Amino acid sequence: MVKECKVKLKSSDDKIFEVDYAVAIQSQILNNTLGHTGCTDSALPLHNVSSQILAKVIDYCEYHVNASSTISEKDVKMWDQEFVKHLDQATLLDLLMAAQYLGIHNLQELTCQTVADRIKDKRPEDIREIFNIQNDLTPEEEEEIRCENEWAFEEEVSP
Amino acid sequence: MAHDWEKMKKSNSDQVVDNVDAMNEIFKHLDAHSLAVASCVSRRWYVAAMDDNLWEVICTRHWPASGICIGRLKCVVNVMGGFRRLYVKWLHPLCTHSAASNSNTNSKDLDNNVVWTADQVHLSLSLLSVEYFEKLGPFATASCHGNSCTISRPQLLHKEQEKAEDGHYGKTFYKEDQRHPNWMAHFS
């Protein structure tokens, strides 16, 4: 039986969002919590999720709740691709962490795939730039690891 | 605002990079080439990319379609150096060698599209076991055929393997070697 009640969620910056029960339980964490407490008037605090990201998470969950029975899988995938296409790196990573924190498997898969797509076919120095990662390898370590993975830096197969 | 953006970018990246589960989830979506390149980014990424479970998925993704039973082989591969070793030393060169004889193909595309045949997998597993056996040291260097042969038996088998691939031998060569049934099945 699908519950009709509304669920209140509070972001880390104290903004309140009201969503349908069916939308909220897309999150495993919220599903478990609501399973114990039931629907209440008090807002569930999400300490690790800002309002900007929570709004996006809710957009995603609302679409997928409505899409599950009415929209084709192909169209859902297209929507997903559009959803992540123009996200800047910071937002994408925030969304990934939020999906992991809230236990929204599909969103976690989508964001991880998107991050992976942005890593593919890039050189290590490009990846460091994208993720703002400090290279903490010594020149000797870097040389050793490169040698270990020399095969991956070959461009063409020689006949 | 620009300064805040840079700070935020750094903390988001740090959060993800520091989160082992998050890194593992991302790396699961990488092909072999990208995973190897990712290991060159930083110490944490090197450790994360060396997780043999990731390489097991890369190696075995298509094995069920080829009729190969992963369960029985997994513990053997783990003992003999792991799936990354299997991939880097044997599966990948075998695949690129086969493809190179057919056409000029980018090796990255090969890794993304490859479906190894059962024969290719068995050959790679056999070569992995030979390499492992060679490393066992004194046990592996017993003289062959009772003669004062200076080359170890596995090294001899490996050389003979190469000869067989070049068509040097006919079908009856491996009948005396009962310890490598995969090789016998492959060449009988």
- B116-145 pLDDT, tens digit each: 777 878 888 888 888 888 877 665 554 444
pTM as predicted: 0.73
In whole angstroms, give the CA distance from residue A120 to residue A127.
9
Alpha-carbon radius of gyration of chain A: 20
In whole angstroms, give the CA distance from residue B188 to residue B173.
9
Instruction: Show the tokens assigned to A5.
Output: 């009640």
More confident residue, A96 or B91: A96
Instruction: Show the tokens assigned to B136.
Output: 């066992």
Identify the pLDDT of residue A58.
96
| For A109, nearest residue in chain B (alpha carbons) | B25
> What residue spans of B61-101 are helical by DSSP H?
70-79, 83-85, 92-100
Any B CB within 8 A of A13 CB: no
Highest-pLDDT range among B46-50, B178-182, B183-187: B46-50
Residues B40, A146: C-beta atoms closer than 8 Å: yes
Q: Lowest-confidence range among B32-46, B61-75, B124-138?
A: B61-75
Residues A90, B9: C-beta atoms closer than 8 Å: yes
Any B CB within 8 A of A128 CB: yes
Q: Computed from CA positions of residues B93, B97, B100, B102, in that sequence, does the dihedral angle turn out positive or negative?
A: negative
Identify the pLDDT of residue B5.
42
Residues B15, A97: C-beta atoms closer than 8 Å: yes
pLDDT band at A14 (very low <50, low <70, confident <90, very high): very high
With a cut of 50, say whether residue B1 has pLDDT above it.
no
Please name the member of A116, A121, A157 whose beta carbon is closest to the beta carbon of B29: A116
Mean pLDDT of chain A: 89
Residues A133, B107: C-beta atoms closer than 8 Å: no
pLDDT band at B155 (very low <50, low <70, confident <90, very high): low
Identify the pLDDT of residue B186.
41
Q: Cα–chain-centroid distance for residue B6?
A: 40
Please name the member of A136, A153, A158 whose beta carbon is closest to the beta carbon of B42: A136
Identify the pLDDT of residue B110.
54
